[in-house]
Amino acid sequence: MITELKDTTTSKISKQLVTMRREGGAVALSRVLTLLVITRAGFEEAAIDAASLASREHPCRIVVIVKGAVTGDTRLDAEIRLGGDAGAAEVIVLRTFGPDAHVDESLVSGLLLPDAPIVAWWPHGVPKDAANTPLGKIAHRRITDSGAEKDPRKALFSLAKSYKAGDTDLAWTRLTLWRAQLASVLDQLDPGSLTSVTVTGAVDSPSTVLLAAWLRLCLQIPVTLASSPEGTGVRSVRFAREEGDVELSRPPGDVAELYQPGQKAQLISLPQRPVSDCLSEEMRRLDPDEVFGEVVREGLKRTNLRSIRASER
């Protein structure tokens, strides 16, 4: 069920939502949080699709704020999606127009679920200081995606400068499977035998930088980045040891290979995670991610960001 409201107000939207819910027999009692999605015109449908998929695990109300043209008359258009058109969520799309349209708490306050946590997600456009944006101030968690930016690494370091407890980035969430596998590998190795680490990944991948920073913090040994072509993400991690190197490598595809001296290569499932999976993971926890905070505040400073070509290793 989809209803469009032109030149409306949040009060009218809220009343229409109650009417639609009553007529459709839907209830809001099972919604566990409000997800605020702050995006740009032309990108909203991809964000809605990802949020709707994530809502299957976390039933929620999704409020999408789309900043439109700042010229012309100031107005607010809305679209309400319930039932099959919204997955396990209630989706409210707000489109602002005009020079006096402000994206702040007053725009969404009447649409927030009462006594429920608020998660803010910027799928496109990492704010300079997410925690101090009007919507970031009211959110319990703030999710950005530096990987979607024109200059992902620059966006990542900008995020590190303004980091506040409750901030996270999907570039970090994409590493969950990598970190789990590497932790398993490290459990089998003597930490004192490791001399250095080389992380190979795409030159445009903030996940590669975060993985290197995490390993630097964990192991306290030199970590170097080796560049692979753009768009390939993290490709491999090699631990240098006198008794023979150990390497976890993922060629194109979803299967990685673990190489250890004197053993056959071990195949490990290591798929690239879709945005919906990463978003769902972040919605699962509402407390600050202390490990991510330490990595962006301390790990990035200690990592050797001198990139070398993979062929030069």
Domain total for the chain?
2
Which of 155, 170, 185 terminates a domain? The answer is 170
pLDDT tens column, 163-208: 999 999 999 999 999 999 999 999 999 988 999 999 999 878 999 9
The reply to whether 234 and 281 lie within a common domain is: yes
Angle (CA) 8-13-15 rounded to 5° is 125
Is 204 in contact with 234 (CB distance < 8 Å)?
Answer: no
pLDDT of residue 79: 95
Stretch 130-152: mean pLDDT? 95
- More confident: 228 or 127: 127
Which of 170, 204, 231 terminates a domain? The answer is 170
Residue 161: pLDDT over 90: yes
The reply to whether 35 and 151 lie within a common domain is: yes
Domain span at residue 297 reads 176-312
pLDDT tens column, 93-118: 999 998 888 888 999 999 999 889 99
Stretch 122-146: mean pLDDT? 95
DSSP H helical ranges for the chain: 10-24, 44-54, 105-108, 152-161, 170-173, 176-187, 206-219, 275-284, 290-294, 300-302
One-character DSSP codes across 151-162: SHHHHHHHHHHT
The reply to whether 299 and 250 lie within a common domain is: yes
The H or E element containing residue 256 is strand 255-259
pLDDT tens column, 248-290: 999 888 999 999 999 999 999 999 999 999 999 999 988 999 9
Residue 307: pLDDT over 70: no
The reply to whether 187 and 306 lie within a common domain is: yes
Query: Residue 28: pLDDT band by 50, 70, 90 thresholds?
Result: low
The reply to whether 16 and 156 lie within a common domain is: yes
Which of 170, 194, 219 terminates a domain? The answer is 170
Position 154, amino acid: K
Q: Cα(301)–Cα(147) distance, rounded to whole angstroms?
A: 20
DSSP H helical ranges for 246-296: 275-284, 290-294
The reply to whether 193 and 261 lie within a common domain is: yes
**Average pLDDT, rounded, for the chain:** 89
pTM of the complete model: 0.90
Q: Cα(279)–Cα(155) distance, rounded to whole angstroms?
A: 19
The reply to whether 15 and 163 lie within a common domain is: yes
Q: Cα(192)–Cα(187) distance, rounded to whole angstroms?
A: 12
